[in-house]
Amino acid sequence: MGRILGVLRDFLSFVISSFFTNECLICHIPLYEPDGILPVSIQDGWPEGTVIFLQNRFSFNILWGISLPGKVLCNDCWLKLRPVSDYTFLDDIPVIAPFRTNETLLKVIRYLKFSGGISVAKPLSWWMAKALRNYASPCDSALLIQKLIIPVPLHNSRRRERGYNQASLLASCVSAELGCRFSADLLVRVRNTKSQSSLDAPGRRENVLKAFDVLDINKFYDKDIVLVDDLVTTGETARECIRILKLNGFSNIIVLSAGKSLSAAD
């Protein structure tokens, strides 16, 4: 019976994917490239493992174990992102990200946040997990599994409207990639706020002030925290989350995002 169900699931995946428009989000070319086709050249600055990523056949589940392709961008458009190997600080907290925010990354994040683009989470989280591994020294890399991965939370009303929290999707995928523990409800948003993208730095700071709280602290007390968001721009949202976490006794914190702006953590 299990084998029959598996064959049926694979067949349904094939049928659904036949009707699924699997094209690059940026240039709109089909993404069903044969294995082994890579860009003519990979620019300087891209880290070791880029070829492995470009050859990876990412997929995501939609229901009942049925999966669809999840590469999102063609190889050439992935290479339009701006990789970074350094890290910055938000006050005394390190901010880790695989990419600088540019127009290509913004399109990917908007697709994730506003167009139901959950397929973005796996390939982005692959790079985020790699960036976190690279940040950890060889003696610390084995300790990554002890960290607790948590997302910047959405207010319940916003999450119901969107259907999911994009930061939580990224955080859960990073957790799975690294084998770390994941919690979606340690940090909660207790006050609905305006979109940060329309505000300047002082406005962003005021917008998120006292917007978060920590629940069930005893369940996770004294855990090393990796706080995950999609982008870090001015850093005000992450800074307020960090403030609340520190007030509740969490002092060893890292911020991890898919992208950061040049102004972040200045």
Sign of the CA dihedral 144, 237, 185, 154? negative
pTM of the predicted model as reported, rounded to 2 decimal places: 0.85
pLDDT in tens, 38-50: 665 788 889 888 9
Cα 210–chain centre separation:
24
Q: What is the pLDDT of residue 136?
A: 84
User: How far apart are alpha carbons 256 and 239 in whole angstroms?
Assistant: 13
For the segment 63-88, the average pLDDT, to the nearest whole number, is 80
Q: What residue ranges do the domains of the chain occupy? A: 1-80, 82-266
In angstroms, the CA 193 to CA 245 distance is 19
Distance of CA 187 to the CA centre of its chain: 17
For the stretch 155-171, pLDDT in tens is 888 878 888 899 999 99
Note whether 232 and 262 are within 8 A (CB): no
Q: What is the CATH number of domain 82-266?
A: 3.40.50
